Each structure stands twice: as C-alpha cells, then as structure tokens.
C-alpha cells in the first residue's frame, strides 16, 4: 500500500527500509522519485530552472560515496560516514533534495532492482573528494575565483560543484 508521510530522505535512508518514494516540489513545478534499499539510495529529480526549462538530475548514495549527475557530467564525493548523508549530496542536486528537510512523500515498498544503484557508464564523474582535500580552507570562503570547481568545464556540473562546496561549510 502507498502511505503518504511527511518524512526526511535521511530518516528513510537510515531506517534501512526498502521503499520507493515520490516527492513533489510545488514551488518550481518539479518532483522526484527515490529508491531506497540496503543502505543505498537512488534519486531521479526533475525541476525547472528560472527560464522554465526542464532539468533532470540524478543521484546515487552508495555506502560512503555520493554520485550526482546531469547529462553526461557528474560529481562523485566521499561522504563522511559520521555525518551521514549530508549536504554535499543535497547541494549537488541543487535545491531539489534537502536530505534533512521534512517533505511530503508518497512511499511504497518495491521489489528491489539493484540496477537502479548502478552508476551509468556514460557519465564522466569528477571526484570532488580529492579536489576538496587539496583546498580545505579556500572552499569555505570562496565563491568562484580560484574555486576547485573552475576545473569543471560543464556549466551544470560546475554550478552543482559550487553549490556543493558552499553548502558543506555549515
């Protein structure tokens, strides 16, 4: 059965349930579907940018690594397991997924399809962990400038990178 629940993605994730949930974001006409099983999570999100253009973004959390991508460009990050599924993953998918925020979700159990947690081979991931470790102090204070994100040529991935590095400071 489908249950509507106000819950945070993080609490579902840490509860270790096998569920799929749909979320809607009324403010930007977007929404998403999440698949959670065995301490892994996949999210497929669709939002509209300021110009009304449809943006598709995806994320996978697998153990202590988060992958997020739009098109063929993505970011890969190690998540501090003590911090749990924290802001880098949320930042990477933009405003669409705040892992701690209570949201209206429709959740139902699903027969787990492990291919959902396989990162697509065509996506080129920039490993943010090594980039962030090189400049631990700068990333907190800088917005652009010599940000590690400037190494990313794809504008979408670069924007996601900037969001991720900014939001990890708090």
User: pLDDT tens digits for 126-142?
Assistant: 988 777 666 545 444 44
Task: Quote the pTM value.
Answer: 0.62
How many angstroms separate the CA atoms of 151 and 44, rounded? Answer: 26
> What percent of the chain is helix, strand and coil (3-state, nearest 5)?
30, 35, 35
Number of H helices, E strands in the chain: 5, 9
For 71-128, the pLDDT digits (tens) are: 999 999 887 644 444 444 443 444 334 556 666 778 899 999 999 999 999 999 998 8
DSSP 118: S
């Amino acid at each position: 059965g489908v249950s509507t629940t106000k819950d945070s993605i993080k609490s579902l994730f840490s509860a270790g349930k096998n569920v799929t949930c749909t979320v809607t974001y009324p403010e930007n006409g977007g929404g998403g579907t999440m698949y959670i099983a065995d301490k892994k999570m996949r999210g497929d999100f669709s939002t509209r940018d300021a110009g009304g253009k449809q943006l598709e973004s995806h994320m996978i959390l697998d153990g202590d690594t988060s992958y997020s991508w739009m098109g063929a460009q993505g970011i890969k990050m190690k998540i501090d397991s003590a911090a749990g599924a924290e802001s880098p993953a949320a930042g990477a998918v933009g405003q669409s997924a705040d892992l701690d925020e209570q949201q209206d979700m429709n959740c139902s159990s699903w027969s787990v399809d492990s291919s959902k947690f396989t990162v697509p081979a065509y996506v080129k991931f920039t490993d943010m962990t090594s980039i962030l470790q090189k400049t631990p102090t700068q990333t907190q204070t800088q917005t652009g400038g010599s940000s590690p994100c400037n190494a990313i040529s794809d504008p979408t991935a670069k924007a996601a990178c900037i969001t991720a590095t900014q939001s990890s400071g708090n």
